[in-house]
Structure 1
Amino acid sequence: MNKKRKYLLIVVLICIIYLGYTYYPALNIVTGYASKNMASGLFLANRDRLSMEKQDNGFLPINLASYQIDTIEKSVTASLFGLMTRKAIYVDGLGAILVNDDYVKGRKFKVPNRIFSKKMMPYPYGELPQKDTIFGEVNYDKLQKAVNNSFDEAGEKKQQTRSVLVLYKDHIIAEKYADGFDDSSLMHGWSMTKSLTGTLYGILQRQGSIEINEKAGLEAWAEDERQHITYNDLLHMNSGLAWDEEYFNISDVTKMLYLESDMGQVQIANQLVGEPDQLWNYSSGTTNILSGPLLRKEFDSHQDYLDFWYSELIDKIGMHSALVETDLAGNYIGSSYAWATTRDWAKFGLLYLHEGNWNGVQVVDSSWVQYAATPTNTSEGRYGAQFWLNAGGYHPDVPKDMYSSNGFKGQYVFIIPSRNLVVVRTGLVSEPKFDLNGFLRDIVNSIE
């Protein structure tokens, strides 16, 4: 080997070492996202590898990852140029879990007990087809045009809508799916999961277990000003705790979701950058405090904690397709990882449209629904208790009483009480590429 080639090889090796060291956290996050998302898609949502690679994982830098898939173990290992590998395993009942070097193959996990009670009633309260109903006040041509306009034409990749469902007076009046998806397809809700988590606190308050204006009472906060943070502050994203919610960089949220084994502990360690109840800052870490350590302490056993989500909310309202994934510590990732069919996401919207009542059963008090849809004092009308709001007219052509569960890349459950509407949209593109204001305006205007 001549000196020139030798020096070139040394330079290349130095560059590789430098890049590996400098971008180690990024490589870790990229391969973590790639393996976790692929495992959830394959083993939970029953998607095929090609569609996952081209669609859900088809953007830079995630699309640079390569995969090893073990269908026996139900695991996915993602690699990036051989510099970093991460593995996710699928556990029935818990979903896909990112593992680390401490994971022992074959480890037994506690899983939630579920009761799938089929009811001989039409959708949404049972499994039978809904009754054919025509509403004279609905302009079905205008409605279908509004729905069709939210999907891409053949060959386009602009709006990337996967599903739209419109419920009016408890009836599906419009429903459409992109190629490869249907009413049995599980849709990743991302941050729509936050609204499920918040609802659990409404259930606990109804049961008398908590009072939301009480202090959270975490031991780690007992000796400083964080001791004054209440459940209400956390539900409102008004805790005053430092947090960086940026999904396309190394940030608090990406490090939490793809580096941490116990995600509920991350935001607990952060310090105040503002006074509680005086600084609004959207934070998935805050929701994971609620869904992990704070909720867990309400139960005598981990099994009771796991079961509660389903027995008191998800299965209680017939969202039997739904599953909330956990971290390696066994706690639900209440910020980001619930899956359900489009029809089951719509059921969650109906629960709120009917002020917490599900076919005669009061799941949360109507006062809780009002609380969830009331703006925080610092969000300029945009946020309530784990729900986004239109109270400040953010969407100018949509009723101001509209509020919604919103998720990364354009997942939405919209509740519009004044129009008796629930609208669900899932996809891979959000605002501004997807015109939410126009989409909702045209649906609302189709009902006279």
Structure 2
Amino acid sequence: MRRALDRTFVTHLCCVLSLSLFGLLACAPEDGGEAGGGDAGGGEAGADEASGESLTERLIARGESLELPTEWDPPPGEPIVHHTAGFAKTLCSGTFITGLDWRDAAANVGGFTAPFQHRGAVVDTVVDMEAQTVSLTLGSGITRTAKLYGSQGCITHPLGRDSIYFTPSVVEPNTPDPATTPWPMGDVLPDEPYPPEIDMGKVEEAVEIAMDQEGKTLGFVVTYQGRIIGEDYGPGVDMHTPFESWSKGKSLTGTLMAVLIQQGVYGLWQRAPIPEWQGDARRNIRIADIMRMSSGIRIVAPQDPGYTEEMGYPDHLYLYTGENAFEWAATRPQQWEPNTVGRYRNT
């Protein structure tokens, strides 16, 4: 039972940051030190007048001075194969969840895990509307296939397999009827006038600019003090159209973790109960360190200061496109002591 609970913990945390807890952690670390070592992810390009060094150079130097004697192992496989795995998943989600034409999705959606400059490597695209799959073949003959798995969304199959490693489950909604429920739990908006301090002409102008179709914006919503004061949607979509969540998943998972902490399942400052970490120094990593991206786990992210593609395929993306994100995250060594250096990474 204990190990099952720990694996659930890995599912909650290995790839996420709690935005809902981030402000609390940054302002009030238990040990009195700076949250995440006072270090940021990408740094800034400005120069320090005293030393002549750019802030990015200082950020890199500080990280290097605190590094532990471990090595980075790039994720296995060819980068273009991983890019294509991300591309297949993006097309699958855009086609079967959002409802876009796959050609539109290929041209405009998901450049993060499937960079647009690498999409030309695909020599054959097969979209099976009945099976709800997207298969992309490279010039090497390697094919990456993503399939819609109900409540779990679109998932790219591991190489050499035509299925996934787990049994999908159906998640039944447990929410009130949106047609009769006030927003944000439902769709009903208030009838009273907009707040007098709001210039609604400016709001409407902002919405119009945002929805300029040269920018391919599909949806734009403006809120003020918990109320929608402006919204518009692109062709073929509306307020009920599902889109990719990307890093909004961090807020959702962070909220779930906050609920578990409130229920007493975990403690914010307890050591992270990840089985793979209990036999070495990683056992000192706390839940709070993971939640604010200062665990010190050694991975590489595209937004790391000093990162270049020549370094290899970044783990930060492999946790999206690889075969087992949980195993990969849990088996990485430490780069820094926990709560020493912060980087915007999926660990």
Short-chain TM bin: 0.5 to 0.7
Distance 2:78 2:164 in 1: 25
Q: Deviations over 1:313-368 (max 9, x none)?
A: xxxxxxxxxxxxxxxxxxxxxxxxxxxxxxxxxxxxxxxxxxxxxxxxxxxxxxxx
Q: Is the 8 A contact 1:53 1:63 kept in 2?
A: no
Distance 2:275 2:149 in 1: 32
Cα separation, partners in 2 of 1:82 and 1:131, compared to 1, 3 Å? farther
Q: 2:237 aligns with which of 167, 181, 190?
A: 181
Note the C-alpha offset of 1:198: 1.0
Matched, 1:230 2:292: no
Q: Is the 8 A contact 1:33 1:62 kept in 2?
A: no
Note the C-alpha offset of 1:107: 8.3
Q: 1:259 aligns with which of 322, 336, 345?
A: 322
Note the C-alpha offset of 1:162: 3.0
Distance 1:254 1:234 in 2: 18
Distance 1:178 1:136 in 2: 29
Cα separation, partners in 2 of 1:24 and 1:213, compared to 1, 3 Å? closer
Query: TM-score if structure 2 supplies the norm length?
Result: 0.67
Cα separation, partners in 2 of 1:263 and 1:222, compared to 1, 3 Å? same
Figure out how many residues of one structure are paired with residues of the other and give that number.
258
Query: TM-score if structure 1 supplies the norm length?
Result: 0.53
Structure with larger RCO (C-alpha < 8 A, sep 6+): 2
Q: 1:137 aligns with which of 194, 197, 201?
A: 197
Matched, 1:60 2:117: yes
Note the C-alpha offset of 1:143: 2.1
Q: Is the 8 A contact 1:57 1:63 kept in 2?
A: no
Distance 2:167 2:256 in 1: 27
Partner of 1:163: 219
Unaligned 5+ runs, structure 1: 1-22, 287-448
Partner of 1:38: 91
Q: 1:213 aligns with which of 245, 252, 269?
A: 269
Note the C-alpha offset of 1:27: 2.6
- What do you get for the CA RMSD once the two structures are aligned? 2.6
Partner of 1:355: none
User: Superposed, which structure 2 residues align to 1:101-140 within 5 Å?
Assistant: 101-104=160-163, 108-118=167-177, 120-140=180-200
SS of residue paired to 1:200: helix
Q: Is the 8 A contact 1:40 1:96 kept in 2?
A: yes
Q: Deviations over 1:50-107 (max 9, x none)?
A: 2112211682112442311222221111112253211111111111111122445998
Q: Which amino acid in 2 is paired with 1:178?
A: G
User: Superposed, which structure 2 residues align to 1:26-425 within 5 Å?
Assistant: 26-56=79-109, 59-65=116-122, 66-100=124-158, 101-104=160-163, 108-118=167-177, 120-152=180-212, 156-157=214-215, 160-246=216-302, 249=309, 250-260=313-323, 262-284=324-346, 286=347
Could you list the runs of 4 or more consecutive aligned residues of structure 1 that deviate by over 6 angstroms after TM superposition? none
Unaligned 5+ runs, structure 2: 1-75
Cα separation, partners in 2 of 1:272 and 1:230, compared to 1, 3 Å? same
Q: Is the 8 A contact 1:45 1:186 kept in 2?
A: yes
Larger strand fraction of residues: 1
Aligned-residue sequence identity (percent) comes to 24
Q: Is the 8 A contact 2:80 2:118 kept in 1?
A: no
Q: Deviations over 1:200-248 (max 9, x none)?
A: 1110111111111000122211121111001000001011111211289
Q: Deviations over 1:282-301 (max 9, x none)?
A: 221x2xxxxxxxxxxxxxxx
SS of residue paired to 1:134: coil
Note the C-alpha offset of 1:192: 1.6
Q: Is the 8 A contact 1:27 1:84 kept in 2?
A: no
User: Is the deviation greater in 38-47 or in 233-242?
Assistant: 38-47
Distance 2:204 2:187 in 1: 25
SS of residue paired to 2:81: helix
Distance 2:85 2:297 in 1: 26
